[in-house]
Structure 1
C-alpha cells in the first residue's frame, strides 16, 4: 500500500513513552523495578498520512494524569523532513502493582508527571 503497517503506530508510541520517561529522569524500566506497572487499558489511533520504509519521523509525546490510578500519553508523529502529519493518538495506562492490583499514582510518579508536562 506504500505506507507503514498500521500496528507500527503503537510501537512508535511506545518509543515516545519510553523516551519521555527517560528524559524526565526515571526510565520506565525503573518504574517496574519500583513495583509500578503501566499496562495499556485504552488506545486511540488516527492515521493522518503516509510513512514509508526508512523515512525519518518525529515523535512528540506528552503525558497527563487520567484520574487517580491512570495516566494518558498523547503522541503526534510527523515526517522528519517535511513536518507532514503521519499519525496521532493516545494510550491510557492503569497503574498496577506486579500482581495487577490497581495503584493510586505514587508521589514520585506525580512529580515525574509534573516534569513531563512542564
Structure 2
C-alpha cells in the first residue's frame, strides 16, 4: 500500500466460530474483519471511534464490495492492510486487503464506503481534525 492517506496493518486469528463445515471462513466474516481493521486503524491513529463520535462525527456504512481470493482456516493468522481516503465531500473509503500472515497468500480484498454524519445522521463535510487524520501518512 503505497498510496497517500492513512494506512494501518491489523493482525488477527481465525476463530473456530468463524469457520464452516468445509473448514474455511464464513464469507460474511470478511465484513466483520474489515470492521476490526477499521476500528484498529482509527485507534492507532489516535482517534478511537468513541472519541470521534464524542467530537460529533459518525461513519455509517453506505456501500461495501468484496472479492474472495483464497481460504483461511481455524487458527490461521491473517494480516489486514487498510488504507483510508476521503471520497467526496462527505464520505470516506476504507480499502482492505486480507492475506495469510505466514505466507502472504491472498484471502480477500474489498472496500467499505462511509458517510460522514453529525449526531443526527445528517451528512457533513469532514471537520478539519478528521480531514487531517485521513490525509496523514502511513501509521
| TM-score, shorter chain, exceeding 0.5 | yes
Match of 1:30 among 51, 60, 72: 51
Helix, strand or coil at the partner of 1:82: coil
Counting matched residue pairs gives 118
- In 2, are the aligned partners of 1:43 and 1:90 still within 8 Å (CA)? yes
Helix, strand or coil at the partner of 1:115: coil
Residue 43 of structure 1 is matched in structure 2 by: 64
Residue 93 (structure 2) pairs with residue 72 (structure 1) = yes
Larger RCO of the pair (alpha carbons < 8 Å, separation 6+) = 2
Residue 60 of structure 1 is matched in structure 2 by: 81
Residue 31 (structure 2) pairs with residue 10 (structure 1) = yes
Ranges in structure 2 where 5+ consecutive residues have no aligned partner? 1-21
CA distance in 2, matches of 1:69, 1:117: 22
Question: CA offset at residue 117 of structure 1?
Answer: 5.4
Helix, strand or coil at the partner of 2:136: helix
CA distance in 2, matches of 1:91, 1:117: 19
CA displacement 1:25-59 (0-9 Å, x = unmatched): 11112111111110000000000000011111001
Residue 98 (structure 2) pairs with residue 100 (structure 1) = no
Residue 110 (structure 2) pairs with residue 89 (structure 1) = yes
More deviation, 21-30/52-61: 21-30
Q: Which runs of 4+ in 1 moved over 6 A?
A: none
CA distance in 1, matches of 2:122, 2:135: 24
In structure 2, relative to structure 1, the CA distance for the partners of 1:42 and 1:106 (3 Å cut) is: same
Give the TM-score taking structure 1 as reference length: 0.95
